[in-house]
Amino acid sequence: MKETVNSVLQRATGYRLTKETPAQRREALARAKRSAAGRQRNAQNPRKLPPPAVPTTPAQQRRQRLRGMSLTELAEEFGTDKWGGHWYTPHYERHLGHLKRERFTLLEIGIGGSVKPGKGGWSLRMWKWYFPKARIVGLDLYDKSFVDAPRIRTYQGSQDDPAVLRRILQEEGAPLVAIDDGSHRSEHVLETFRILFPLLPAGATYVIEDTQTSYWPRLGGDRDRESKTTTMGMVKQMVDGLNYEEFLDEDYEPTYSDTNVVAVHCYHNLVFIEKGSNMEGSNPAKKERLLPENQVTREPASAGDS
């Protein structure tokens, strides 16, 4: 029996051809014409999106202006000496710019203004606008509660008081960024780092400002640049500690910073310390050959030797 086109199509696809009536053809043609006419109208009169809302009040205009500023511009806007008195803001943007849209806690020790009523908080306000999703926390020896605002909270206490630092972390969470802009005295800087750094999470950045005081005895520094009791003395030891696994003295016990500091970036009066696991290991075979007891002493060559 000879198969028809319809029977073959139905067996292969499950569909059958149906004969289109004149009325159906006219309707299909009309639909096609309406669709073409619609496309032509859309091309001639593209749909316009409503314009973005234009800030009208002075407060709205200021917020829009602040959101578009760089960190240096924000420093100038709020009057912090991180730009002008010093030149720190480009370094901060380089090391912290990747956190701009992240949610995290930033702790700054030293709010500024000393004992002057109503003075201080300039950099906390700068950080608030630079990090629009961050929680900004400040610690100062004096009451700076007038700085408190949405996303900004201040605490009063000494920077080297373990109870104060632990209370802040308990209430605010461990900061991903910690900045020591406090007394700048070496004994305070070293003790604050000893307490606070182990409490920070991996990936955190610890910043020390105004390290020039390391060389000024009146502020706890030392004229001896090899001194290990100054801020920069600690930093220099930290740089050596990056390579503690290469030390040849086998009785050396690595410190906490040896095993948990992965990078140290030093600028003029400013240091960035990155936290992470510093346990990459060494080349044991090569290191073994370099130990003093395994070294072969060569006889000095005579004048006639080539």
pLDDT in tens, 242-270: 999 999 998 999 999 999 999 999 999 99
Q: How confident is the model at residue 271 (pLDDT cuts 50, 70, 90)?
A: very high
List C-alpha distances in Å: 28 to 3, 40, 148, 157: 30, 19, 69, 82
Amino acid at site 171? E
pLDDT in tens, 13-30: 555 555 667 777 777 777
- Asked whether the beta carbons of 206 and 235 are under 8 A apart, the reply is no
Low-confidence winner among 2-6, 61-65, 163-167 (lowest mean pLDDT)? 2-6
Residue range 67-91: mean pLDDT, rounded: 96
User: Does residue 291 surpass a pLDDT of 70?
Assistant: no
List C-alpha distances in Å: 252 to 116, 133, 248: 48, 43, 8
Q: How confident is the model at residue 306 (pLDDT cuts 50, 70, 90)?
A: very low
Residue 197 tokens read as 């750094």
- In terms of pLDDT, which residue wins out, 25 or 143? 143
Residue 267 tokens read as 């600028």
**184, 188, 265, 268: the active-site residue:** 184
Residue range 159-165: mean pLDDT, rounded: 98
- In terms of pLDDT, which residue wins out, 45 or 121? 121
Residue showing tokens 């973005």: 52
In degrees and rounded to multiples of 5, residue 221 shows phi and psi of -90, -170
pLDDT, residue 14, reads 59
0.85 surpassed by pTM: no
Question: 11-25, 121-135, 287-301 — which one is most confidently predicted on average?
Answer: 121-135
Q: How confident is the model at residue 304 (pLDDT cuts 50, 70, 90)?
A: low
pLDDT, residue 7, reads 62
> Is residue 184 flagged as an active site residue?
yes
- In terms of pLDDT, which residue wins out, 284 or 289? 284
* CA dist., res. 203 & res. 207, Å (int): 13
Cα atoms in the Cβ-side hemisphere of radius 13 Å centred on 224: 5
DSSP secondary structure letters along the chain: -PPPHHHHHHHHHS----PPPHHHHHHHHHHHHHHHHHHHHHHHSPPPPPPPPPP-SHHHHHHHHHHT--HHHHHHHHT-TTBTTSB-HHHHHHHHGGGTT---EEEEE--SSTT-TT---HHHHHHHHHSTT-EEEEEESS--GGG-BTTEEEEES-TT-HHHHHHHHHHH---SEEEE-S---HHHHHHHHHHHGGGSPTT-EEEEE-GGGGG-GGGT--S-TT-SSSHHHHHHHHHHHTTGGG-S-TT----HHHHHEEEEEEETTEEEEEES-------HHHHHHHSGGGPPPPPPPPTT--
pLDDT in tens, 178-191: 999 999 999 999 99
Question: Domain residue spans in the chain?
Answer: 58-285
- The arrangement of secondary structure in 58-285, i.e. its CATH architecture, is 3-Layer(aba) Sandwich (3.40)
